[in-house]
Every structure is written in C-alpha cells, then in structure tokens.
A and B are shown apart, each in its own frame.
Chain A
Amino acid sequence: AQSVSQHNHHVILSEAASLELGCNYSYGGTVNLFWYVQYPGQHLQLLLKYFSGDPLVKGIKGFEAEFIKSKFSFNLRKPSVQWSDTAEYFCAVNIGNTGKLIFGQGTTLQVKP
C-alpha cells in the first residue's frame, strides 16, 4: 500500500534558524505532492503543491519544497523561520484519478522567539 513517511515528529528551532522537514513516499508511479499546515486553533490549509515541471516549488509564507524523484522525497524548507511558523506540518500524496490524499503522520514545529 502507498504510504507517506515524515522523519521528524517534533522539531524545535529558534527564530531565524533554517528549516528542513523530510517527507518520503512509497509509490513508483506518477504522484501529486502537497504540504499542508495547521496553525494552532485553525484548519488545515495548503502550503504548496507539486504536479509536474520544475521540481522546486514555492509556496506561501516563504516556504519551498523540492521533489527528488530518485529519492521519492518532497522535503519542505524555509531559510529563516519565524515564531508565527509554529504549527503542525503534513506531507501528503495523491495518486490515481481521484483527489484522495494520503497523509504522513505530521511534524510539530515549535519556533522559540
């Protein structure tokens, strides 16, 4: 069965530190890839997505992610985090003809001011 693995469950950083959250998926065919974010007390919202083309995609709030097909990875990065980036981050993949998403278990990011 297809699955998504996020390596870091809980990350603590100081403001201005660089961020990289790992995401790997298990599926050999064509995938669509997503990162979602859930800020405290808010709904899940889309951070960025990759369908095809340039494997480096940029999202909202200065986030970016790189799709490396050979590594089945879609890691999320931000050069300099802010306290307001404190949230839970979920990687997700979609395969097939429906919008069904398969999520990783999530990474809790805590940014210290």
Chain B
Amino acid sequence: GAGVSQTPSNKVTEKGKYVELRCDPISGHTALYWYRQSLGQGPEFLIYFQGTGAADDSGLPNDRFFAVRPEGSVSTLKIQRTERGDSAVYLCASSTATGPRGEQYFGPGTRLTVT
C-alpha cells in the first residue's frame, strides 16, 4: 500500500519568506509526527498530532513554526520568516497506535534550504 508521502521533496526559499510543507499519512493512521533532521544529526521531534489536535508541540523551536491537521489526515507544517538555520530535512511519520508503542512509518522528507 501507499506509504507516507511528503511534498515538495525539495524546497529552496529566501531568508524571510514563508513556506508550507505537506504530509500525507498512511490512510487510517490517527497519529502523525513531525521531526527535523539537520546534517549529521538524528531526527529531532517537533510536534505530534492525535487526530486533529496537537497532543504535544513541545519540540517547535519558536513561534515562527506552526502545524495544522484540520481533518485528521493531511498535515501542513508552516514556517514564517524563514532563517538560514531552518535549513534541514523535515520528516513526517504516522502511526496507527495512540500511545508510545505504535510503530512510526516515516516519509521521505522535505529538504528545505533557506538562502
């Protein structure tokens, strides 16, 4: 079946611009996660959705970052006033389970470059 998909696969933007990154989870998966992976590092948690609501947004670095999941399926990560330090691969994962034991299926990521 179809896995987690993310669009665009690559995004180049200028410093100060606004960007949106999209995640389509596996159909039926209620939990959705966003992570950010900088070069040479492991993924870093950003936010977790259970259904439509953000259950844990403790990883969002500041108020320039915001994510939504209005219908409990597709999610969009929004970054305002981008900075060069935002350059990274943004990963999305989804899971069937509501708790910590659900296997997370990762998408291919969106590589964001801020020039």
Q: Which A residues have a C-beta under 8 Å from some C-beta of B?
A: 4, 6, 32, 36, 43-46, 49, 51, 90, 92, 94-106
Complex Cα–Cα for A49 and B45 (A): 18
Provided the pairs A98-B100, A99-B31 are in contact, do residues A44 and B43 lie with their beta carbons within 8 angstroms? yes
Provided the pairs A32-B100, A43-B106 are in contact, do residues A102 and B45 lie with their beta carbons within 8 angstroms? yes
| Interface class of chain B by DSSP | loop
Question: Among the listed A32, A43, A90, A105, which residue makes an inter-chain contact with B3, where contact means beta carbons less than 8 Å apart?
Answer: A43
Complex Cα–Cα for A97 and B33 (A): 14
Q: Is B95 an interface residue (CB 8 A)?
A: yes
Q: List 16 A-B contacts (CB under 8 A).
A: A4-B42, A6-B42, A43-B3, A94-B100, A97-B99, A97-B100, A98-B48, A98-B100, A99-B102, A100-B56, A100-B58, A101-B43, A101-B104, A105-B40, A105-B41, A105-B42
Complex Cα–Cα for A44 and B85 (A): 23
Q: Is B103 an interface residue (CB 8 A)?
A: yes
**Size band of the interface chain B makes with A:** 20 to 34
Question: Among the listed B31, B44, B48, B56, which residue makes an inter-chain contact with A103, where contact means beta carbons less than 8 Å apart?
Answer: B44
CB distance A99 to B42 under 8 Å? Answer: no
Number of cross-chain contacts by CB at 8 Å: 68
B-chain residues with CB within 8 Å of residue A94 when the two chains form the complex: 100
Most B CB atoms within 10 A — which of A4, A44, A105, A106? A44
Q: Which of B51-75 contact A (CB under 8 A)?
A: 55-56, 58-59
Complex Cα–Cα for A15 and B104 (A): 30
Most B CB atoms within 10 A — which of A4, A32, A49, A99? A99
Question: Among the listed B3, B56, B108, which residue makes an inter-chain contact with A98, where contact means beta carbons less than 8 Å apart?
Answer: B56
**Nearest 6 CB-CB pairings of A with B:** A103-B42, A44-B106, A94-B100, A43-B106, A103-B43, A98-B56
In the complex, the chain B residue whose C-beta lies closest to that of A41 is: B108
CB distance B100 to A96 under 8 Å? Answer: yes
